[in-house]
A and B are shown apart, each in its own frame.
Chain A
Amino acid sequence: METFLGLDYNVWWFLVFGGVISGYAILDGFDLGAGALHLFLKKEESRRIALNAIGPIWDGNEVWLVIGGGALFAGFPIAYAAIFSAFYIPFMVFLTGLIFRAVSIEFRSKEPMVWWRTFWDIAYCVANIVISLSLGLMLGNVAYGIPLNKQHEFSGDWLSFFNPFSILIAITTLSLFMMHGAIYLAMKTERRLYTKLTILAKNFTIFFLVSFAFSTLYTLLYIPHLSDKLRSSPLFFLLPALMILAIANIPRNLKKANYRFAFLSSSVTIAALLMMVAIEVFPYLLYSPTNPQNSITIHNGASSAKTMKILLIIALIGTPLVAIYSSFVFWTFKGKVKLDEMSY
C-alpha cells in the first residue's frame, strides 16, 4: 500500500471526495435553500432579486457535484456503480429536479407574462425542494447502509429507501438548506426584502433545530452503528461539540443581524454533519447491514494505486486553481444584489 504523509492513497482520496461533497453541500446548499423558499417571496421584484443573488454563481456551485461524481467514478468505481444503479429511481428524480432548476432560472426572465413567470416560479421552487429531499434521502440510505450481494450490487427493493431514518434525514437536509439559503439571501438583500428574509431565516432555523433534534434522537436510539465511533473516542467527540457550538451560533448571530457569521456557522454545521457521517461510515463507502462481508470499503471498491496517484496529482493541481478563480468570481459579485439590464 503506497502512502503519503502516513495515510494510504485510498484514505486520501476518501478525504478529497468528502471535501468535494462538503463543498457541494455548502455551496449548492444555499442555492437550493434559496430556491426552496422562493415561493415565500411574493413580489415580482423580490423573486428577481433572489434569483439574481444566486444567478452568476449557482452554475459554478453545481460543478462541485460533477466533480464529486467524477471523483467517485475515478477513485471508487465499484461504489459508483453500486450506488447509482441502486438508487436508480430516486436519482432519476433528482436529475430531473436539476434540469428543472437550471432551466427555470434561465427561462423565467425571458417572457413578461404573469402566467409564464408564475409557472417557472413554481417549477423552480418544487425542483429545489425535490433535489434537497432526494439528496437527503440518498444520504440517509448510504449512511445506514443498503443490502448488497457478492458482486457488490444492490439486492434489495428500492421502496425500502423510504424508511423512517432516511425520511428524517431528507427533511433535515431540506431544513438545513432552507436555513442556509435564507441566511445567504439576507446577506445579499436590502430594505423590505431584507427584513422579510431575516424573519424567514429565524423561522427556518427553528424548522432545522426541530428536525435535527428528531433525527439525532432517532439515530441515538435506533441506529447504534451511526454513533459508536463518535462515542468511543474523546477526539472524535470534539466534532459534535464543535457542531453544537456552530448551530448555537446561528440564532445568536441572527439576533445580532450579523449574517456573515451566521452564514459561516451554517456552513460549518453542514461540513461538521458530513464529517460525522464520514467518520461513522469509514472505512465503508457503502455498508451492507444484511451481510457485512459484501460491503464496499475504500479498499475493495477502489481503483488501482496508480490511478489513485494520478487522481491525487490532478486534485493537487486542480484544487488551488478552482479555489483562486472561484474566489475571484465570488468577489466580483460581492455585496447586495442590484438589478441591471443583464439580470434575470
Chain B
Amino acid sequence: MDVEILARLQFAFTISFHYIYPPLSIGLGLLLVIMEGMYLKTGNKLYEQMTRFWIRIFALIFGIGVATGIIMEFEFGTNWATYSKYVGDVFGSALAAEGIFAFAVESGFLGILLFGWNRVSSRVHFFSTIMVFLGSMFSAIWIVVANSWQQTPAGFHIVGEGMNARAEITDFWAMVFNPSSVERLVHVWIGAFLAGAFLVLSVNAWYILKNKHLHIAKPAFKIALVAATFFSLAQLLAGHRSADGVSKNQPAKLAAMEGHYDSLAKADMFLLGWVDQKKGIAKGLKIPGGLSFLTHQDFSYPLKGLQAFKPQDRPTQVNAVFQFYHIMVAIGMLLIASTLLACWYWWKGTLFTKKWLLVFFVWSVLLPQLANQAGWFTAEMGRQPWVVYGLLRTSDALSRTVTANQILFSLVLFTIVYTFLFALFLFLLNRKIHHGPEDLHQTDEENENEMYTKRIIPILEGSTVTDGGNDKTLSSH
C-alpha cells in the first residue's frame, strides 16, 4: 500500500479510537458537576454515593483518553511533516493554547477530583470537579478551532512557494473565530454531552431492570434523562446551523453529503439512499428539493452540485460521506424520539415500568458514540482531497522521509495495543458497573476489604521477601 493510504488509515484509526473517550469525559464531567452540586445543595448522602460511583468510571475513561490523546499531538509531526510545516504557524498556536489553558487545568485538578475526597473540603472538591469539566470544554475549543481552520481557513496569508509555501497568521482572532469554528464547536460540545448523558442512562436503566441500587439508579436516570432530552433537541438546532455553514463555506462537501451533482437542478434531501459515483446520481427515499428548502427556504432553488467542481477537487468517497452523514442524522432523530417518549412516560408516572424502553436505553449508549464518529467522518472525508480546504492537498501533506514500512509498523503496533486496551476497558467498565455504587455506611476498613487490600496481602506475604533493611537505618530517620 502507498504511504498516503497508510498514513490516512493510521490517523483515522488512532483518532477514532481516541474520540471514544473525550466526549465521555466532557459529558460525564457535566453530569458530575450536576450530581456533586445536588449533593452540596441538599446534603443528601444519596448524591454523594452517586457522585463517587461516577468518579470511578470517569477515572477509567479519562485514563485511556489521556493515553491515546498524547499520540495525536505527535502524529502530525511523525506522519504529516509537510502539513506541520505548512500549518505550524497557525495550527500550532491553537495547540499550544490548548496545552497550557485546557489540558493543564484538566490534569492538574483531576488529582483532587479522584483522590482528594478526604483531603480537601467539599467546596474545594466541587471546585476541582468544575475545573476538570471546564478544562475538558476548553480543550474541545482549541481542537475544534484548529480543525475548523482546516475547513474554513481565515486570518492568514501564504508565504513562500511550492515546497516551501506555508500559512502565517495575520489576525489571531480571525483565525480563532474562523467562519465555521463557533457552530462546529457547539455541535461537538452537544455531541459530547449526549455521549455522557446516554452512558449514565444506559448504566442506570440496567440497574433498574435488574432491580439493583434502585434508590440511586432512579434519580440518576432522571438527571441524565433531563440532560439527554435537552441536548438531543439542542443538537437539532446546532446540527442545522452547522449544515448551513457547510452550504456556505464548503459547497462540495454539502453536495457530497446529499449526493447532489447537477448544479442546475434543485437539491433533494434523502432519508435513505445510495450514491452511484460513476454515473453521478443518488437514488433512494427522498424529499424532492428538501436540501434547497433547508438552505434557501425554496424547494426549487438550484444548488451548486459536484459537477461544478473539477474531478480532482471533489471528495473522493462521495457515497461514504453520504452514508456517514445520514447515519448521524438518523441517530439524532432517534435520540430525540426516545428521550421525548421517556419524558412523556415519566410525566405519566410509568417510566420505570416500560421494560422495552429501559432495554432500549441500556443499548442506547452506543448511539451518540456512533453519531459522533459518523459526524467526524462526514466532516473529514467531505473535506477531501484537501487537508486544508482549498490550500493544501492531503497527498502533499505527508512526511516525505517516512517510508510505508515504518507506518505499517506503527499501524500494526497501535492496532494490537488498542485492541488490547479496548478489551480491557470494556472488561473493567463492566466489572465496575456490576460492582455498583459503594455503600457509604460501611467503615473505611470494610470498604478496603471489599476493594482489594486485605484480600491480597495475606496471599503475597507468604511468598515474597520482606522489604526494607535493618532497624538501625530506621532509627536514623
Contact status B456-A114, CB under 8 Å = yes
Contact status B100-A319, CB under 8 Å = yes
In the assembled complex, A57 has its CB within 8 A of some CB on chain B? yes
In the assembled complex, B309 has its CB within 8 A of some CB on chain A? no
In the assembled complex, A88 has its CB within 8 A of some CB on chain B? yes
Chain B residues 428-477 with CB under 8 Å of chain A are 428, 431-432, 438, 444, 447-448, 451-453, 455-457, 459-461, 464-470, 473-474, 476-477
Contact status B467-A46, CB under 8 Å = yes
- Find chain A residues with CB under 8 A from B99 CB: 63, 66-67, 69-71
Since A103-B424, A195-B474, A329-B109 are in contact, a sample of 14 more A-B pairs with Cβ atoms closer than 8 Å, ordered by chain A residue number, is A52-B115, A56-B110, A63-B107, A66-B73, A74-B96, A80-B84, A92-B413, A98-B67, A195-B469, A303-B89, A329-B112, A333-B111, A341-B444, A342-B117
In the assembled complex, B114 has its CB within 8 A of some CB on chain A? yes
A70 to B104, CA, bound (A): 12
Chain A residue, CB-CB nearest to B444: A341
B-contact 0/1 string along A86-115, CB 8 Å cutoff = 101101100110111011011101111010
Say which residue of A57, A60, A70, A326 sits within 8 Å of B92 (CB atoms). A70
Say which residue of B105, B169, B451, B455 sits within 8 Å of A304 (CB atoms). B169
Least Cβ–Cβ distance between A320 and chain B, in angstroms: 11
Contact status A314-B96, CB under 8 Å = yes
A-contact 0/1 string along B73-94, CB 8 Å cutoff = 1101111011011011111110
Least Cβ–Cβ distance between A141 and chain B, in angstroms: 15
Least Cβ–Cβ distance between A319 and chain B, in angstroms: 7
Chain A residues 103-162 with CB under 8 Å of chain B are 103, 105-107, 109-112, 114, 117, 151, 153-155
A311 to B91, CA, bound (A): 12
With A95-B71, A196-B468, A341-B444 in contact, do A74 and B103 touch (Cβ < 8 Å)? no
In the assembled complex, B312 has its CB within 8 A of some CB on chain A? no
Contact status B172-A310, CB under 8 Å = yes
In the assembled complex, A209 has its CB within 8 A of some CB on chain B? no
Contact status A103-B431, CB under 8 Å = no
- Find chain A residues with CB under 8 A from B71 CB: 95, 99
In the assembled complex, B97 has its CB within 8 A of some CB on chain A? yes
In the assembled complex, B5 has its CB within 8 A of some CB on chain A? no
A70 to B114, CA, bound (A): 27
Least Cβ–Cβ distance between A56 and chain B, in angstroms: 3
With A81-B77, A103-B64 in contact, do A322 and B108 touch (Cβ < 8 Å)? yes
Contact status B78-A84, CB under 8 Å = yes
B-contact 0/1 string along A185-198, CB 8 Å cutoff = 00000011111101
B interface residues, Cβ below 8 angstroms from A: 59-60, 63-64, 66-68, 70-71, 73-74, 76-79, 81-82, 84-85, 87-93, 95-101, 103-105, 107-112, 114-120, 131, 159, 163, 166, 168-170, 172, 399-402, 406, 409-410, 413-414, 417, 421, 424, 428, 431-432, 438, 444, 447-448, 451-453, 455-457, 459-461, 464-470, 473-474, 476-477
Contact status A83-B77, CB under 8 Å = yes
Chain A residues 39-78 with CB under 8 Å of chain B are 41-46, 48, 52, 55-57, 59-60, 62-63, 65-67, 69-71, 73-78
Least Cβ–Cβ distance between A299 and chain B, in angstroms: 14
Provide a sorted-by-A list of 24 A–B residue pairs whose CB atoms are within 8 angstroms: A60-B107, A66-B99, A69-B77, A70-B97, A73-B73, A74-B89, A77-B84, A84-B84, A85-B79, A95-B71, A106-B60, A114-B459, A195-B468, A195-B469, A198-B473, A303-B92, A306-B168, A306-B169, A307-B92, A318-B100, A325-B108, A329-B108, A340-B448, A341-B438
A89 to B410, CA, bound (A): 8
A329 to B120, CA, bound (A): 10
Chain A residue, CB-CB nearest to B473: A195
Contact status B96-A73, CB under 8 Å = yes
With A307-B92, A340-B118 in contact, do A88 and B406 touch (Cβ < 8 Å)? yes
In the assembled complex, A257 has its CB within 8 A of some CB on chain B? yes
With A42-B464, A322-B100 in contact, do A191 and B474 touch (Cβ < 8 Å)? yes
In the assembled complex, A332 has its CB within 8 A of some CB on chain B? yes
Contact status B60-A341, CB under 8 Å = no
With A74-B96, A85-B77 in contact, do A43 and B84 touch (Cβ < 8 Å)? no
Least Cβ–Cβ distance between B25 and chain A, in angstroms: 12
A139 to B477, CA, bound (A): 37
Top 8 nearest A-B pairs by Cβ distance?
Answer: A77-B88, A74-B92, A84-B77, A56-B111, A192-B468, A318-B100, A106-B63, A81-B81
Chain B residue, CB-CB nearest to A314: B97
Contact status B466-A42, CB under 8 Å = yes
Contact status A192-B119, CB under 8 Å = no
A62 to B163, CA, bound (A): 35
Least Cβ–Cβ distance between A236 and chain B, in angstroms: 29
Contact status B93-A311, CB under 8 Å = yes
- Find chain B residues with CB under 8 A from A73 CB: 73, 76-77, 84, 88, 91-92, 95-96
Chain A residue, CB-CB nearest to B120: A332
Contact status A322-B464, CB under 8 Å = no
Chain A residue, CB-CB nearest to B124: A332
A192 to B343, CA, bound (A): 59
With A44-B456, A194-B477 in contact, do A77 and B92 touch (Cβ < 8 Å)? yes
Least Cβ–Cβ distance between B346 and chain A, in angstroms: 34
Say which residue of B70, B77, B100, B453 sits within 8 Å of A315 (CB atoms). B100
* Total A residues in contact with B, Cβ cutoff 8 Å: 89
Least Cβ–Cβ distance between A178 and chain B, in angstroms: 17
A136 to B435, CA, bound (A): 43
In the assembled complex, A245 has its CB within 8 A of some CB on chain B? no
Contact status A44-B457, CB under 8 Å = yes
Least Cβ–Cβ distance between B55 and chain A, in angstroms: 8
- Find chain A residues with CB under 8 A from B67 CB: 98-99, 102-103
In the assembled complex, A343 has its CB within 8 A of some CB on chain B? yes
Contact status A153-B64, CB under 8 Å = no
A269 to B74, CA, bound (A): 28
Contact status B168-A196, CB under 8 Å = no
Residue among B84, B169, B428, B457 with max Cβ neighbours from chain A (10 Å): B84
Contact status A303-B469, CB under 8 Å = no
With A56-B114, A341-B444 in contact, do A322 and B66 touch (Cβ < 8 Å)? no
In the assembled complex, A241 has its CB within 8 A of some CB on chain B? no
In the assembled complex, A82 has its CB within 8 A of some CB on chain B? yes
Contact status A57-B111, CB under 8 Å = yes
A303 to B76, CA, bound (A): 16
A57 to B96, CA, bound (A): 21
- Find chain A residues with CB under 8 A from B431 CB: 110-111
B-contact 0/1 string along A313-339, CB 8 Å cutoff = 011001101100110010011000001
- Find chain A residues with CB under 8 A from B100 CB: 67, 70, 314-315, 318-319, 321-322
- Find chain A residues with CB under 8 A from B460 CB: 43-44, 114
